[in-house]
Amino acid sequence: MKATVFYVKVYYGAISEIFVCIWLRGDSFGAWFYHFLLDDVDNTWDIQSSSGDVQITASKGSGSINTTSGDIDLDLGELTGDLRVNSSSGWAKIKVSADNSFYFEALISSGDINTFFNEDLSFSKRRNSATGIYGSDKDNRCIMITTTSRDVEIMD
C-alpha cells in the first residue's frame, strides 16, 4: 500500500492549525483519510469533508462534523458544548467519556443505533431514531447525530 502525505489548514474559531492528511492507495482503491488532533483547542470546531473519512481525537471540545461521503470516528474526552454530527453516506462512531452528561438524539435512515446508555433512551418503533438524557445533563450539552445510510455507535 502506498501513502501520500500532505497538509491542510483547518480553521476553528479565530485559530487555524495545519493537520496531516493522508491519501492511502492500495492495488485498486484510494481513499482520503483525515486525522485531526485537537487536544489544545478550547474553541468550537467545524469540520467538513465532501469525500473521505474523518477521524478526530480531542481531550475536550464541541462543534460540528459533516461528511458527504465518509465515515466519522471521534474520540472525545470532555464535551464542552453541543456536538452535531451529520453523515450523508457513512457511519458515525463516537467514543465519549462516561463522566459527561448530555441530551442525546440520533436519526438514521438505515442502519443501527447502539450506545453504552441504551437503557436511558427512547427508541422509535423502527429503531431509526433515539432520544434521551445521559447523566444529569446539568450543563445543558447535547449530542445530535444524523446519518443517511449507516450505523451510529456511541461508546465510553
Per-residue pLDDT tens for 121-154?
999 999 999 999 999 877 799 999 999 888 999 9
Per-residue pLDDT tens for 16-32?
444 444 444 444 344 44
* Total count of domains within the chain: 1
Confidence (pLDDT) at 35: 55
Confidence (pLDDT) at 45: 77
Which cell numbers in the block locate residue 156?
A: 465510553
pTM above 0.95, yes or no: no
Over 60: is that where the pLDDT of 63 sits?
Answer: yes
Number of other CB atoms surrounding residue 152 within 10 Å:
24
Over 80: is that where the pLDDT of 5 sits?
Answer: no
The SS3 assignment for 14 reads coil
- Give the span between the Cα atoms of 108 and 129, in whole angstroms: 6
Q: What mean pLDDT is predicted for residues 84-92?
A: 91
Q: What mean pLDDT is predicted for residues 96-109?
A: 95
Residue 35: strand pairing partners: 55
Over 60: is that where the pLDDT of 11 sits?
Answer: no
Which cell numbers in the block locate residue 111?
A: 442502519
Question: Can you give the residue range of the structural domain that contains 85?
Answer: 2-155
